[in-house]
């Protein structure tokens, strides 16, 4: 696994170096922004303009940039193709490559901001991962689209335009990683996808969006509340893989044996997408207690779209040895737990991390 990751990283680095030989497009007195393309519907195409079916991750980064009128007036742009996948195929390998590339680019005086084009399905996970491991105050923005590039009223070009405007703006410094979709600016900590097909596909259900961007005009309402980027204690420098953390979706009459299976398969942590306030049935709670007794870290999150999971309220976390996710949904709780488990820590420390990040 490690060796495979090393070769994949080496391949991607060689691939990327090929793109770093050309300099920023126009060299005007504008901020320099690098667009890292990973695929998704924003780069997707269909046979016709009126079809629901399409293939994600078809267009290259240069074609995407060229399709946006006026974008060259916002920033000097450079594009790099990191991957070209539907984001259901986003992987930890690609995350580690992205983090490494972003940290290298932002350490250079030549780069003022980064935009990542991404499928919307797992965009929130990538954005949150980067929010924890990017070591710079410079703006990092993810964006995508719900309609493929060939569709009637494709919204990708305007999303990319707005994302570049946000990444190029000094107002965005220190805001952590942001998700820019449909004229809204969300903190990576808060954003979540809420619709399978609608253009209004992202929201920040607990804390609300942090700003808006209309044809490149930006207004921030607030700064993110949780710890991110330069203040984050997490780093993936030299990291080749992350510990396995599984997510279990709770429901009526859920069987408890998934927990034992997951541990046998190598999980070091488990996130329960609990019912209500992070709840699960009695049989699953007993299996969880056994798991935490064996040193597996179990985080209680919720399958609901909004609200905090409260510690020692409906479930006695002290007794079961569990951690609550606070505001994080299951997918983001998994990201945080994987990074947390890179180092040995006790349950109290892990709980503090979930309250602060
Ligand atoms: C994907 O996540 O790659 C497909 C869906 C989308 O980008 O909207």
Confidence (pLDDT) at 7: 41
Q: Is residue 160 domain-resident?
A: yes
pLDDT of 11 strictly over 90: no
Is residue 212 located within the same domain as residue 257?
no
- Give CA torsion, residues 24, 15, 44, 182, to 10 deg: -50
Q: What is the pLDDT of residues 87-142, one digit of tens each?
A: 999 999 999 999 999 999 999 999 999 999 999 999 999 999 999 999 999 999 99
Is residue 34 located within the same domain as residue 95?
yes
Kindly report the protein residue whose alpha carbon is nearest to atom 7 of ligand 1.
Answer: 119
Q: What is the pTM of this model?
A: 0.94
Question: How would you classify the pairing of strands 177-181 and 184-187?
Answer: antiparallel
Confidence (pLDDT) at 25: 67
Q: Is residue 307 domain-resident?
A: yes
Is residue 63 located within the same domain as residue 143?
yes
Helix (H, G, I), strand (E, B) or coil at 166: helix
Is residue 249 located within the same domain as residue 227?
no
Residues within 6 Å of ligand 1 by CB: 40-41, 56, 86-87, 119-121, 144, 146
Distance from the alpha carbon of residue 87 to the mean position of ligand 1, in angstroms: 6
Greater model confidence, 27 or 81: 81
Is residue 25 located within the same domain as residue 123?
yes
User: Residue 128 belongs to a domain with what CATH number?
Assistant: 3.40.50.1170
Domain count, the chain: 2
Is residue 252 located within the same domain as residue 225?
no
Is residue 255 located within the same domain as residue 331?
yes
- What is the chain's Cα-based Rg? 20
Most informative mutation of 37, 53, 56 for ligand 1 (most atoms within 8 A of CB): 56
Q: What is the pLDDT of residues 190-239, one digit of tens each?
A: 999 999 999 999 999 999 999 999 999 999 999 999 999 999 999 999 99
- Give CA torsion, residues 213, 214, 219, 220, to 10 deg: -20
Beta-bridge partners for 212: 184, 219
Please give the residue range of the domain that contains residue 93. Answer: 2-231
Distance from the alpha carbon of residue 123 to the mean position of ligand 1, in angstroms: 8
Q: In the structure encoding, which two tokens stand for residue 135, read together?
A: 């070591």
- 38, 41, 122, 340: the catalytic one is 41
Q: Percent of the chain, pLDDT > 70?
A: 93
Helices 347-356, 330-340: inter-axial angle, 10-degree rounding: 130
**Catalytic annotation present for 322:** no
Distance from the alpha carbon of residue 149 to the mean position of ligand 1, in angstroms: 12
DSSP 29: S
Is residue 267 located within the same domain as residue 162?
no
pLDDT of 24 strictly over 90: no
Q: Is residue 237 domain-resident?
A: no
- In angstroms, rounded to a whole number, what is the distance separating the alpha carbons of residues 40 and 118? 5
Is residue 223 located within the same domain as residue 78?
yes
Q: Which atom of ligand 1 sits closest to the CA of residue 121?
A: 2
Q: What is the pLDDT of residues 250-278, one digit of tens each?
A: 999 999 999 999 999 999 999 999 999 99
Most informative mutation of 88, 144, 179, 199 for ligand 1 (most atoms within 8 A of CB): 144
Distance from the alpha carbon of residue 211 to the mean position of ligand 1, in angstroms: 23
Q: In the structure encoding, which two tokens stand for residue 266, read together?
A: 């190598």
């Amino acid at each position: 696994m490690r060796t495979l990751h090393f070769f994949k990283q080496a391949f991607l680095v060689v691939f990327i170096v090929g793109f770093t030989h050309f300099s920023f497009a126009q060299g005007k007195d504008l901020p320099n922004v690098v667009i890292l393309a990973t695929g998704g519907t924003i780069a997707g195409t269909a046979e016709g303009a009126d079809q629901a079916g399409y293939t994600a991750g078809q267009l290259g980064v240069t074609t995407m940039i060229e399709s946006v009128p006026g974008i060259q007036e916002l920033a000097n742009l450079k594009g790099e193709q990191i991957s070209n996948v539907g984001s259901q195929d986003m992987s930890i390998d690609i995350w580690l490559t992205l983090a490494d590339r972003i940290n290298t680019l932002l350490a250079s005086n030549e780069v003022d901001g980064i935009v990542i084009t991404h499928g919307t399905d797992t965009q929130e996970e990538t954005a949150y991962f980067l929010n924890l491991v990017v070591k710079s105050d410079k703006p990092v923005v993810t964006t995508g689209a719900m309609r493929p590039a060939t569709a009637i009223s494709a919204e990708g070009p305007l999303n990319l335009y707005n994302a570049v405007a946000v990444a190029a703006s000094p107002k965005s410094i220190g805001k952590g990683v942001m998700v820019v979709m449909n004229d809204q600016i969300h903190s990576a900590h808060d954003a979540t996808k809420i619709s399978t097909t609608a253009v209004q596909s992202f929201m920040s259900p607990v804390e609300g969006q942090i700003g808006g961007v209309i044809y490149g005009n930006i207004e921030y309402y607030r700064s993110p509340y949780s710890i991110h980027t330069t203040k984050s204690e997490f780093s993936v420098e030299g990291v080749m893989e992350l510990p396995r953390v599984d997510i279990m979706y709770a429901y009526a009459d859920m069987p408890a044996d998934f927990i034992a299976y997951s541990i046998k398969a190598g999980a070091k942590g488990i996130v329960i997408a609990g019912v209500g306030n992070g709840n699960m049935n009695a049989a699953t709670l007993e299996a969880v207690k056994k798991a935490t007794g064996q040193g597996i870290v179990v985080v209680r999150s919720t399958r609901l779209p909004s609200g905090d999971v409260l510690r020692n309220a409906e479930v006695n976390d002290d007794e079961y040895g569990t951690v609550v996710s606070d505001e994080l949904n299951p997918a983001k709780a998994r990201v945080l737990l994987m990074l947390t488990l890179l180092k040995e820590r006790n349950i109290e420390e892990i709980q503090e991390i979930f309250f602060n990040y």
